[in-house]
Amino acid sequence: MIIEKLQGRDILKSGEKRIAFAVNTEGINDSGFAGMILRKYWPELAYIGKCELGTVLTKDSDDITFYALVCHSLRNGWQNQTEVIKKCFDSINTLGSIASISIGTGEVGILSGANFDEIKKGMELSEKKIILY
């Protein structure tokens, strides 16, 4: 469930302790928000190899836990977006809130067919408390 929406703020300077973002099934994550995360916090994320749709990768760095949601394919686009996003968030093992960028609204997401309304619906249907940036 989305418990708060914060626009115009930098998620990385917000003091959030848990941050979620999208990565792809091919494991090539060198651009977009994922690219920014790998350059600052998680270099191994750049070329991690194939990942199963709907899985979540986790990395603790500094005072932040990052959740890389495997929710789309560079080749096949975004399939079952609502269900996949819900599944990813629900699999995160925390009772605390999770901050998330607006998944699918960046250049890679738009070019590969992301539908933010469907993605947002998956967040709303999740049992986790999501703060949407």
The residue whose two tokens read 């977009």 is 32
- For residues 71 and 82, give the distance between their C-alpha atoms in angstroms, rounded to a whole number: 10
Token couple for 27: 């494991």
Q: What residues pair up with 5 in beta bridges, in sequence order?
A: 132
104 and 119 in contact (C-beta within 8 Å)?
yes
pLDDT tens per residue across span 9-64: 999 999 999 999 999 999 999 999 999 999 999 999 999 999 999 999 999 998 99
Give helix then strand counts, H and E, for the chain: 4, 6
Q: What is the CATH number of the domain that holds 80?
A: 3.40.220.10
pTM of this prediction exceeds 0.85: yes
**How many structural domains comprise the chain?**
1
Domain with 32, as residue range(s), is 2-132
| R_g (Cα) of the chain, nearest Å | 13
